[in-house]
Amino acid sequence: MKKLPLQTSGYHYLEKAFKEWLDILGFVPTTVYTLPNQAREFLYFLEQNNIKQIHQLSDQHLQNYYQYLTARSNERHNGALSTNYINHHIWGLEKFFEFLDHKGVNGLPPLNLKFLKTDNLKREILTIAEIKELYKILENQQLITQKQEVLNHQDKVMLTIYYGCGLRRTEGTNVSIDDINFDTRVLHVKKGKNNKQRLIPFNQTTSKILQDWIYEYRPLLVKDKTEHKLFINGQGKPLTGGTLGNRLKRIINQSDNIALKEKTITLHSLRHSIATHLLANGMDLQKVQRFLGHSSLETTQIYTHLIQEENE
């Protein structure tokens, strides 16, 4: 995309201004680099269809571009572009149109490009190297404000709770700071699936991340001292699973790892990943069952099949 030659000076200006706008808004360097390239591909497509001014854009042009995008071949691999790649491209165009609106470009048709459906039944597994990469992305963040630093640390807590402790999405959002015992290094899941409770041990590294959050960073967001939920937003209110999922996607989008970005990763993917990693490292199946809170051993055995598939 970055090598596509734009002939129209106005399009060159829009691409450059879009990049500057993203940078001013504080987007991470990877996003500031990637999204203008996606906008360039869109503008190049318009040029090839004799649309030399953005004001000439019509809904039909958008639909034609959508058809082009979903049919375009993958230059690095044989076959079509992945669903995740196309959806990320559409998100980039949404940001580009938001930028155009901010610049006062009026009269453009609404984008209205539908995101492709992903296979929710497929269990995507992150490798240990990919998990480490997610933590590394957070460690290398350029943090300008104190609030950015606080939310960045909460993202580490999110990885720790959903990967390190293997919690389900709702289990994580229900965790209270009172559920964590640092003396025994045990997390008490009080509202598991089917209202079942379980105790999850955690290591010293997890303890440090959680203690830093609870005693150093979290108090900077808390406005109501009676609010005990572990995850809270910038206004001191409890975070939803949807917001946490979006934070996870934001981290992944900062990666330069194409294979990682093409995976359909959710909070539950982190749980799937720790389960496979524990089994692959030789932990007893019944111990993993208790760790995950599965009622049936057969459910836990699914992960042994995933390991076999990965090794085939």
Q: H/E/C letters for each residue in 29-83?
A: HHHHHHHHHHHHHHHHHHHHCCCCCHHHCCHHHHHHHHHHHHHCECCCCCCECCH
Tens-place pLDDT, residues 85-104: 787 788 889 889 999 998 89
Residues with catalytic annotation? 168, 193, 268, 271, 294, 303
**CA angle at 290 for the pair 287 and 293, rounded to the nearest 5°:** 150
Q: Which percentage of the chain shows pLDDT scores above 90?
A: 54
Does the 128-311 domain belong in CATH 1.10.443.10? yes
CA distance 182 to 185: 5
- Model pLDDT, residue 120: 41
Contact residues for 161 (Cβ-Cβ < 8 A; gap 6+):
167, 172, 175, 230
Tell me the pLDDT tens digit for each residue of 219-278.
999 988 899 999 999 888 999 999 999 999 999 999 988 888 888 899 999 999 999 999
- β strands within the chain, DSSP E: 180-181, 186-189, 198-201
From the options 1.10.150, 3.40.1350, 3.90.1690, 1.10.3470, give the CATH code of 9-102.
1.10.150
The mean pLDDT value of the chain amounts to: 86
Q: Record the pTM.
A: 0.60
Q: Where are the domains of the chain?
A: 9-102, 128-311
CA angle 243, 248, 252 (to 5 degrees): 145
> In the numeric block, which tokens belong to residue 106?
């009026």
Instruction: Determine the 3-state secondary structure of 199 from DSSP.
Output: strand
Q: How confident is the model at residue 122 (pLDDT cuts 50, 70, 90)?
A: low
How far is it, in rounded angstroms, from Cα 291 to Cα 198?
8
Q: Among positive and negative, which fits the CA dihedral 64, 67, 69, 75?
A: negative
What's the rounded Cα separation, in Å, for the pair 272 and 292?
9
Would the pLDDT of 213 be above 60?
Answer: yes
Residues belonging to the chain = 312
